Amino acid sequence: MVTLGEDLGRGGIFGQYRGLREEFGAERVIDTPISEATIVGAAVGMALTGLKPVSEMRVMDFALCAMDEIVNQAAKNRFMFGGQGRVPAVIRMPIGIWSASAAQHSQSLESWFTHIPGLVVVTPATAQDNYSLLRAALDCGDPVVYLEHKELWGLEGEVDELRLATLGLAQVVRPGKDLTIVTWSKAVHWSLAAAELLAARGIDAEVIDLRTLWPWDREAVFESAAKTGRVLVVHEAVQVAGFGAEIVATLAEGSGARLARLGDRWMPPERKVMLADARSF
**H helix or E strand, kind and range, residue 236:** strand 230-238
In this structure, is the dihedral angle defined by the CA atoms of residues 259, 260, 261 and 262, taken in order, positive or negative? negative
The pLDDT tens digits of the residues spanning 68-106 come to: 999 999 999 999 888 888 999 999 999 998 777 777 777
Whether 61 and 104 have beta carbons less than 8 Å apart is answered as: yes
| 194 and 132 inside one domain | no
Distance set, CA 197 to CA 201, 205, 231 (Å)? 7, 10, 17
Binned at pLDDT 50, 70 and 90, residue 268 comes out as low
Measured distance CA(263)–CA(279) in Å, rounded: 31
- Among residues 105, 149, 189, 235, the one annotated as catalytic is 105
> Is residue 114 included in any domain, yes or no?
yes
- Strands 171-174 and 205-209 come out as antiparallel
**Exposed/middle/buried for 251, CB within 10 Å: 0-12, 13-18, 19+?**
buried
> Is residue 16 included in any domain, yes or no?
yes
| 241 and 177 inside one domain | yes
| 74 and 136 inside one domain | yes
| 139 and 9 inside one domain | yes
- Stretch 105-117: mean pLDDT: 92
> Is residue 278 included in any domain, yes or no?
no
Q: What is the number of domains present in the chain? A: 2
> Is residue 29 included in any domain, yes or no?
yes
| 46 and 176 inside one domain | no
Last residue of a domain, one of 152, 179, 197: 152
Amino acid (1-letter code) at residue 74: A
| 15 and 132 inside one domain | yes
| 35 and 118 inside one domain | yes
The residue that leads in pLDDT, 98 or 161, is 161
| 114 and 176 inside one domain | no
**Which of 11, 3, 6, 116 is CA-nearest to residue 52?**
3
> Is residue 208 included in any domain, yes or no?
yes
Phi, psi at 42, each rounded to 5° = -65, -40
| 189 and 145 inside one domain | no
Which CATH number do you get for residue 247?
Answer: 3.40.50.920
Measured distance CA(10)–CA(18) in Å, rounded: 7
- Stretch 199-225: mean pLDDT: 98
> Is residue 239 included in any domain, yes or no?
yes
Helices (H), 144-242: 187-199, 218-228
Is 160 in a helix, a strand, or coil? coil
> Is residue 21 included in any domain, yes or no?
yes
- Stretch 20-45: mean pLDDT: 96
Q: How many CB atoms neighbour CB 37 within 10 A?
A: 13
Note if 149 is an active site residue: no
Residue 222 has pLDDT above 50, yes or no: yes
| 109 and 178 inside one domain | no
Report which DSSP code applies to 66.
G
The answer for residues whose C-beta is within 8 angstroms of residue 137's C-beta and 6 or more apart is 90, 120, 122, 144, 146, 167
Which CATH number do you get for residue 112?
Answer: 3.40.50.970
Residue 8, domain extent: 2-152
- Stretch 108-118: mean pLDDT: 96
> Is residue 131 included in any domain, yes or no?
yes
User: Among 14-18, 111-115, 230-234, where is mean pLDDT lowest?
Assistant: 14-18
The three state secondary structure string of 75-101 is CCHHHHCCCCCCCCCEEECCECCCCCC
Whether 167 and 113 have beta carbons less than 8 Å apart is answered as: no
Binned at pLDDT 50, 70 and 90, residue 270 comes out as low
The pLDDT tens digits of the residues spanning 121-160 come to: 999 999 999 999 999 999 999 999 999 999 998 899 999 9
| 128 and 188 inside one domain | no
Beta strands in 127-176 (DSSP E): 144-146, 171-174
| 130 and 255 inside one domain | no
